[in-house]
Structure 1
Amino acid sequence: MAPLFTTVLVANRGEIAVRVIRTLRRLGIRSVAVFSDADADARHVREADTAVRIGPAAASESYLRPELIIGAALRTGAQAVHPGYGFLAENAAFAHACAEAGLVFIGPPAEAISLMGDKIRAKETVQAAGVPVVPGSSGSGLTDGQLADAAREIGMPVLLKPSAGGGGKGMRLVRDEALIGDEIAAARREARASFGDDTLLVERWIDRPRHIEIQVLADGHGHVIHLGERECSLQRRHQKIIEEAPSVLLDEATRASMGEAAVQAARSCGYSGAGTVEFIVPGNDPASYYFMEMNTRLQVEHPVTELVVSVGPAAAGGGIDLVEWQLRVASGEQLPYEQKDIALTGHAIEARICAEDPARGFLPSGGTVLSLREPQGDGVRTDSGLSEGTEVGSLYDPMLSKVIAYGPDRATALRKLRAALADTVTLGVPTNAGFLRRLLAHPAVVAGELDTGLVEREADSLVPDGVPDEVYTAAAAVRLDALRPAPADGWTDPFSLPSGWRMGGEPAPLAHWLRVPGNEPVRASGSGRVEPDRVTVELDGVTHTFHRAGAWLGRDGDSWHVTDHDPVEAALTGKAHGGADTLAAPMPGTVTVVKVAVGDEVAAGQSLLVVEAMKMEHVISAPHAGTVTELDVTPGSTVAMDQVLAVVTPAAQDEETS
């Protein structure tokens, strides 16, 4: 058996860095973390054996700088670099640079990364190896006319895809042949902006498809096996949010066939390490699966595979640590397993907790984690990069953690995951935990009738309409409790109590004006049991208990930031900063573009500013024709959610005030 490394640098952050460090610690390997200025006090930094600052907060000046990562590895005596996922994980130049510096890149050869990172070359390579591919265009560098001709030959609908990237960026679904020219132009613009490369391919669109991927594991001695499949069909904006293993769609014959196809795809590019081959599968004909792409790294959803795979001569002994086997393969070890040694036992489901607000159209959120509760044990695992006090900003990916549940069957795993999400508390930062819990209770999800469009179709029904009355009651109870004076010498002045007492009448409950961002203010009263970390109130005969931290309340994965509202102040300032004239930041982020100046005349719907957060751009447009009478930001300004950016005064008001 080849000796393992003594020191490994983890070239990533957040939950995946913590996850890798956990395995390094178990194996007795010294871990080195890297961090930007934004992550100086991050959990992965505190859990590593040592840590190195690599630059300013922006990823382009820190986590995406290969020379800084390699320099940190050499200074700390690391023999190898684990890239996690995202950032430099699929950067062939970085893998080459590690090798040139005498470091082992814990991943596949740079040539495999380069080949599979080009969707056109990847498709041609695996097709030559006998792997079925989605019917589509062939060749790279096609002109607009050639792409249009290919689309017409395939037949509508078709999917335009950038060759250089993934994550749904630049993908365009075209159903109307008359629009193909415009859609090609738009797809090229998006691809160029996202990846610096506007090369496109076109493929047949499969209605209501399922997204199923196969986990492969290969050593450097030509031995490749697969570890079964993961169902990843529950997606939003082409991003996975729920994954599970195994898939209820596949029978044993189809599973074996897809697994063999994945193995052949890995062999075709000389793969080694852990990787994933992704397939698109018609829900009504799972035997007709097609290769989509290969991810040449560890996947976000790898824990569900780890929980269901049993290994060994008798396919018993339970579980596998994919990070450990990445390390072992990278150090030169041979895989000790044959395909016959792999079995799938039980069922596992994962939910991705992201900093986003479902009530505001899933816009990125941010803030400080004031109270944190992450379930563990009894078939539940949480992989997280959070701790209380963590600042969640707008510079990095919005995924904060993953909650994974395991059970002997799918129904048990679903039930455990819903309960775990209800028990998840992340006060101070809005997340999608409550939305995911409701999604997992949707009848189609419970029945296993999934497709990649299900979440988009059902999203509105899974977001509560407004704020429950009991939230305001609980917030009012917190404020009432804060008014109660502390006893002095064992005695409390009864006239200092906020009892609502009045002469000649029944006590009047003390009411408070309260507001949850994005909702109208409410006047509410309430009393109950208020504790440092929770509050319990009764409303209409029903008892409600909330987690609390400061002005935040949480329950069943949902959270609300309940602030005080001053109607007098709002009346005085509302004309300038509260009505339809005001343009406010829809999410915490950075202003990247300002297209107007004070005094400019603008048209209704005209693009005025762009705010960027967590890899998402949001265009701020004029609500109506008029004049820009206030502009409070410049390019590069960091803004908070609901911060006033500009005011556009309608033309009619201009005339009245002139």
Structure 2
Amino acid sequence: MPLFSSVLVANRGEIACRVIRTLRTLGIRSIAVYSDADRTAKHVTDADTAVRIGPAPARESYLDIPAVIAAAKASGADAIHPGYGFLSENADFARACADAGIVFIGPGIDALDVMGDKIRSKNHVAASGVPVIPGDSRPGLSDEDLVASAAEVGYPLLIKPSAGGGGKGMEIVREPADLRDALATARRVAAAAFGDDTLFLERLITEPRHIEVQLLADTFGTVIHLGERECSLQRRHQKVIEEAPSPLLTEDTRARIGQAACRVAESVGYVGAGTVEFLVSAQAPDEFFFMEMNTRLQVEHPVTEEVTGTDLVAEQIRIAAGERLRLAQDDVSLTGHAIEARVYAENPERGFLPSTGTVLALREPVGEGIRVDSGLAVGSEVGSSYDPLLAKVIAWGATRSEALRRLDRALAATTLFGVRTNIEYLRLLLAEPEVQSGDLDTSLIDRKLPSLSFARPDDELLAAAALAVWGEGSSHPAGVAAGSAWATLDGWRLGNPRPSVYRFAIDETTTATVSVSAAGAGASVRIEENEPHTASLRVLENGTGVLTWDGETRMLSLTRTATGVWVGRDGFSWELPLLSRAQRLASRLAAIARPDAARTPEVRAPMPGTVISVPAPNGSTVNAGDTVVIVEAMKMEHKLTAGVAGTVSISVVPGDLVKLDQVVATLTPELAPETFTPRPTVEGDTA
């Protein structure tokens, strides 16, 4: 008999696919839920059955407790696995499951109540003798209370929402003058993400390392830890690369921090899988401070699974079904090293703004020690309604250096076209000397990011894109017989062939012109006015391109689209839209028609999203750098600022959906008065 006959997975994306995979191995029927935006998503097709729960906005679907409970009842689910995020730490959801007679695969309601509130949990843990970070965590603090206590807490400080996690709503404040604006932002983000804008303050620990301990606890009072994970590589409080075990801790500290984590769990009668997070100063690695307890599965749980050989999802299910833990603390051993890299839909070249699109081509890495947890498939739509996490690439090795090498190779072997991602950025991080040596802290990325240099399409990738288009010259115009000299569009004519010229848009302001003409069995390719190269391209069925470039072979990836070509190599990818003659002409005419465009600069949405605030009233005067519109996309706020000082004309209101590059405001700079110099009068001049 299975542990449960049917389990509903109340989540989406890669975590839903990962839970469904374990349900299948356990012989349990899986039930997916989906919003209108996810109708054809991978987790829907992976599951045995699926139920629609609402429209795209999370509040009307994945966060709608009655809708999820109704789906579980209608599909005959015995239990619900919440994954992480959404309703995974929601005590009201756990109560609703209990009221409906459905098992919630997670901790008890009391543990959710205590640990789901960061203020309450911090005070509770401090009373249990576990060290905590200095700060002000009194319940119900108003802005005035927080301002008053900030001086005592000391700067720099960290504003944190009491509810939720994932770094959302956290604001670093270094100067008293910045505190009130940061409080307003933190409350707004916390209310939108968690439905609770309660805040508290903590002293910001410099050079901190983020260490978390994985726990398992059954209903018979047994609590064990499965070692720790190092999660110090973060950007904007969001983890980017995680590993197990931490390269910082000694065996003694590992045992002490594990015991402290178990003590935290025991203090609330914890049941299931959970994580206790600590800050450890890089300057004093034997000291640690409690931050919070995550009463759910963590995004980075695969690295613990890889070094312990334990399926944490399977253990969650067994515990929820009433089984005893099959492991004792002495049975837990850490073998080798595992590192995980999070693949996000974001554009590093545009300040890591969220990216959207349709997955046009996908090749995920395989090989010894390589694991991929992914929610992607060709045709997947990546929108702006949900978190931008797409997949996780995990590498295990006998040593940390081997795991690093395997992870880098795996990322280099990953191809994802249709959506801009951070894969190249991940490889750059892995190559940093501090990462290689394990000398980490949570501000390392902020320090290193300005010096990271991102690639641009080089001559070989541009040539491959042009050859891909040129190779389509075999299609002939309507009414022209096949085999006719006029049937191909390859530039053939009497005398010397005329080159086919392609102009690609590299970004908003940069284009590249590539000329291609037949040359024997291949082609002659010229980039701009540079010397020509002899080249040929062969495209395999899986999208791999074999480019012969001046007699040498290059391997790359490419996909032809209706508007251009996606090209990539070694984890780098780029969209190259092909500009038509009409587009080039329109661009020239626009420049002619608006010679004073610089006097009316436009503020554009750098990503699709929802307008949540317009701080600058229409017609007001703003300074360069002032925030005029705030857009939310993929559960993050993005402040759109004025490029110049002037009078602002706002073209959106809160609640509006905006598209990529949509104009949301226009600035009219104040013109300096011009000095009028009369023109000398000339006899007979009638002008």
* C-alpha distance in structure 2 between counterparts of 1:594 and 1:178, whole Å: 22
* Number of the residue aligned with 1:583: 603
* Number of the residue aligned with 2:132: 133
User: Are the aligned partners of 1:393 and 1:589 in contact in 2 as well (CA < 8 Å)?
Assistant: no
* C-alpha distance in structure 1 between counterparts of 2:204 and 2:650, whole Å: 46
- 2:660 pairs, out of 641, 645, 649, with 641
Secondary structure (helix, strand or coil) at the match of 1:108 reads coil
* C-alpha distance in structure 2 between counterparts of 1:548 and 1:252, whole Å: 48
Secondary structure (helix, strand or coil) at the match of 2:293 reads strand
Question: Do structure 1's residue 393 and structure 2's residue 383 form an aligned pair?
Answer: yes
Secondary structure (helix, strand or coil) at the match of 2:136 reads coil
Structure 2: 5+ residue runs without aligned partners?
516-524, 526-534, 675-687
* Number of the residue aligned with 2:637: 617
Deviations 1:568-601 (A, max 9, x none): 2211124679965343331122345568999x57
Deviation at 1:535, TM superposition (A): 3.4
User: Are the aligned partners of 1:585 and 1:643 in contact in 2 as well (CA < 8 Å)?
Assistant: yes
* Number of the residue aligned with 1:478: 468
> How do 1:56-95 and structure 2 match up within 5 A?
56-95=55-94
> How do 1:480-499 and structure 2 match up within 5 A?
480-484=470-474, 491=483, 493=485, 496=488, 498=490
Deviation at 1:359, TM superposition (A): 1.0
* C-alpha distance in structure 2 between counterparts of 1:147 and 1:603, whole Å: 29
- 1:528 pairs, out of 536, 549, 552, with 536
* Number of the residue aligned with 1:314: none
User: Are the aligned partners of 1:37 and 1:56 in contact in 2 as well (CA < 8 Å)?
Assistant: yes
Q: In structure 2, do the counterparts of structure 1 residues 563 and 227 end up closer, same or farther at CA, with 3 Å as the change threshold?
A: same
- 1:546 pairs, out of 537, 550, 556, with 556
Secondary structure (helix, strand or coil) at the match of 1:511 reads strand
Q: In structure 2, do the counterparts of structure 1 residues 589 and 141 end up closer, same or farther at CA, with 3 Å as the change threshold?
A: closer
Deviation at 1:443, TM superposition (A): 1.0
* C-alpha distance in structure 2 between counterparts of 1:420 and 1:447, whole Å: 20
User: Are the aligned partners of 1:609 and 1:620 in contact in 2 as well (CA < 8 Å)?
Assistant: yes
* C-alpha distance in structure 1 between counterparts of 2:193 and 2:481, whole Å: 67
Secondary structure (helix, strand or coil) at the match of 1:524 reads strand
* C-alpha distance in structure 2 between counterparts of 1:652 and 1:154, whole Å: 46
Secondary structure (helix, strand or coil) at the match of 1:89 reads coil
Q: In structure 2, do the counterparts of structure 1 residues 597 and 285 end up closer, same or farther at CA, with 3 Å as the change threshold?
A: closer
* Number of the residue aligned with 2:501: 511
Q: In structure 2, do the counterparts of structure 1 residues 567 and 22 end up closer, same or farther at CA, with 3 Å as the change threshold?
A: same
Deviations 1:524-560 (A, max 9, x none): 2335214262434456786543211222112222211
User: Are the aligned partners of 1:435 and 1:463 in contact in 2 as well (CA < 8 Å)?
Assistant: no
RMSD: 3.0
Deviations 1:163-184 (A, max 9, x none): 2233223333334456656655
The one-letter amino acid of 1:611's match is V
Question: Do structure 1's residue 30 and structure 2's residue 29 form an aligned pair?
Answer: yes
* Number of the residue aligned with 1:349: 339
Secondary structure (helix, strand or coil) at the match of 1:258 reads helix
Structure 1: 5+ residue runs without aligned partners?
310-318
The one-letter amino acid of 2:556's match is F
Number of aligned positions between the proteins: 641
* Number of the residue aligned with 1:559: 573
User: Are the aligned partners of 1:576 and 1:582 in contact in 2 as well (CA < 8 Å)?
Assistant: no
Deviation at 1:512, TM superposition (A): 1.8
Deviation at 1:404, TM superposition (A): 0.5
User: Are the aligned partners of 2:611 and 2:654 in contact in 1 as well (CA < 8 Å)?
Assistant: yes
Deviation at 1:294, TM superposition (A): 0.3
Deviations 1:6-35 (A, max 9, x none): 111111111111111111111111111111
- 1:339 pairs, out of 326, 329, 338, with 329
Deviation at 1:497, TM superposition (A): 5.7
Q: In structure 2, do the counterparts of structure 1 residues 169 and 43 end up closer, same or farther at CA, with 3 Å as the change threshold?
A: closer
Secondary structure (helix, strand or coil) at the match of 1:225 reads strand
* C-alpha distance in structure 2 between counterparts of 1:41 and 1:266, whole Å: 39
Deviation at 1:271, TM superposition (A): 0.4
* Number of the residue aligned with 2:205: 206
Deviations 1:308-348 (A, max 9, x none): 01xxxxxxxxx111000100000111112211110000111
The one-letter amino acid of 2:129's match is G
Structure 1 window deviating more from structure 2 (133-142 vs 288-297): it is 133-142
* Number of the residue aligned with 1:312: none
Deviation at 1:48, TM superposition (A): 0.9
- 2:426 pairs, out of 408, 433, 436, with 436
* Number of the residue aligned with 1:165: 164
Q: Say which one has the larger Rg.
A: 2
Q: In structure 2, do the counterparts of structure 1 residues 330 and 182 end up closer, same or farther at CA, with 3 Å as the change threshold?
A: same
Secondary structure (helix, strand or coil) at the match of 1:201 reads strand
Structure 1 window deviating more from structure 2 (27-36 vs 140-149): it is 140-149
The one-letter amino acid of 1:641's match is L
Structure 1 window deviating more from structure 2 (67-76 vs 179-188): it is 179-188
Question: Do structure 1's residue 252 and structure 2's residue 251 form an aligned pair?
Answer: yes
Deviations 1:398-442 (A, max 9, x none): 001111111111111111111111111110011111111121111
> How do 1:182-221 and structure 2 match up within 5 A?
187-188=186-187, 190-192=189-191, 194-221=193-220
* C-alpha distance in structure 2 between counterparts of 1:278 and 1:481, whole Å: 55
Deviation at 1:269, TM superposition (A): 1.1
User: Are the aligned partners of 2:474 and 2:487 in contact in 1 as well (CA < 8 Å)?
Assistant: no
TM-score (norm 1): 0.90
